[in-house]
Structure 1
Amino acid sequence: MMARLWRCMVVVLVLMCVCLWSSTEAIGGAKSRPRPQRRPPKKSKVEATDVTQPAQNIDIQQMTGTWYLLNTASKCSYLIKHGTQVEPTVMTLTNSPDQTLSVSTKTRHNHQCWEILQVYHLSPTPGQLTLKGARPELDTKIVIGETDYNSYAIMYYHKRGTITMKLYGRSVDNLSEPMLTKFEQLAEKQHLGLAYLFPFPTYSHCGTVDQEHVINCVPTC
């Protein structure tokens, strides 16, 4: 009788140990890892000329002359920080016989008039220009998106994967409200909403420039 009792107790203890071991393995044991998913390929950056095409049959000769900067759409860090302090800016384009466009930009800095001199290189495609940087990857690609030569011009500046849009006018007071609205709509397509629009003053532009402030540089935006 005692022998049977001991055998029953041993069997019960063995079953309890087996159950506890199985339970511990299920809770704290190694788990199968999910099969790693293949990452989708990264989309290549889109060049400016892929998303903004120049206006048809741009005549660079008709683009020459004076243009007043009226509005800018950009995520440039300088404009985001100082966009309320922008100064009136005027650009003058002069055609050169060596397939370049001489660019003079006058603006105010520290209450003095500065002139920024640059050279835009023409490309085989009318309406596409290049402002060369210190290295090819620092070049600024410029596209004349829209213009009627007489009242407005919308230009795209593409540098290192970012786009800045600028709206120029032949004068400061003859641009219609629909054109300003159109510029805002085109900027929205480039993910440049109202928060990234920076209107420029339309008064008190620079005239004569102190020669000490004639410089050659590449714009930050």
Structure 2
Amino acid sequence: MASLLGLLLLLGLLASSSSSQGVQPRRRIPDPQKPPIEKVALQPDFHPEQFAGTWFLVATASRCAYLSKNHYRLEATNVVVTLAPDAASGEKALLFSTFRPLEGHCWNITQCYFPGKTRGRFQIKGRGLPVEVAIGETDYSSYAILFLQRAKGLSAKLYGRSAKVGPAVTATFERRVRELGLDETDHVFYFPSYGFCHTADSFHTLDETKFTGTR
């Protein structure tokens, strides 16, 4: 049962941790006709080639009720981003391989972030509802802030090239999530900075790209 709950949490995080069932935002975001992710300021002139490589998940911001109740189950999580051509757009897709330990095993979930019409916008496709992704801010060398929307729920993730980021980066992340009406005290959850794993066998690999025709 513990293993199942842990895997559900992992899948929920990768699906953007944005479910807001039964939980109302504290502040109403103006212009309700506009999808929340459309209000996110994007990284200017985003470069996929510079974004590729290894990232460590430092924090996530979400109103997800399940995450709020089970945040103590969070484990060290890291991703390896590679590039793949997208025939439909002619642009580069991002392949995210996410690694997380769970009860003595390392799990890997691979997902494809398909490029959108706007540079810095992507869409995750798989078995569930598509997830819209916006690269909000990155310097490529130390941190990246991503925003994700599933249905109408919006969440954010802070990645670092190392497991720890400086206070200035943390402050930037918290400021940006406040702009979405999220409270950094109640809705921001930080991940452990130790206990990472980097490989997974075939029995502990979930390849979501096989549902999108990318492999």
TM-score clears 0.5: yes
Unaligned runs of 5+ in 1: 1-42
RMSD, aligned CA:
1.8
SS at 1:88's partner residue?
A: coil
Higher relative contact order (CA 8 A, sep 6+): 2
Matched, 1:86 2:86: no
Alignment of 1:1-221 (within 5 A): 44-98=32-86, 99-134=92-127, 138-173=129-164, 175-193=165-183, 194-217=185-208
Assess, with a 3 A threshold, how the Cα gap between structure 1 residues 45 and 76 changes in structure 2: closer, same or farther.
farther
SS at 2:85's partner residue?
A: coil
> Which residue of the partner structure matches residue 7 of structure 1?
none
Contact 2:37 2:147 in 1 (8 A): no
- AA paired with 2:100? T
SS at 1:171's partner residue?
A: coil
SS at 1:105's partner residue?
A: strand
Contact 2:135 2:145 in 1 (8 A): yes
Q: Deviations over 1:100-122 (max 9, x none)?
A: 22110001223321000111101
SS at 2:193's partner residue?
A: coil
Q: Deviations over 1:112-170 (max 9, x none)?
A: 210001111012311100002447xx210000000000000000001110111000000
Identical pairs, percent: 33
Unaligned runs of 5+ in 2: 1-30, 87-91, 210-215
Q: Deviations over 1:180-210 (max 9, x none)?
A: 0121111112121111110001111012312
Distance 1:102 1:79 in 2: 25
Report the alpha carbon displacement of residue 76 of structure 1 after superposing the two structures with TM.
1.4
Distance 2:152 2:34 in 1: 8
User: TM-score scaled to structure 2, two decimals?
Assistant: 0.75
- AA paired with 1:181? A
- AA paired with 1:93? V
SS at 1:208's partner residue?
A: coil
SS at 1:96's partner residue?
A: strand
Report the alpha carbon displacement of residue 177 of structure 1 after superposing the two structures with TM.
0.5
- AA paired with 2:102? H
SS at 2:194's partner residue?
A: coil
SS at 1:124's partner residue?
A: coil
- AA paired with 2:115? L
- AA paired with 1:192? L
- Counting matched residue pairs gives 173
- AA paired with 2:117? P
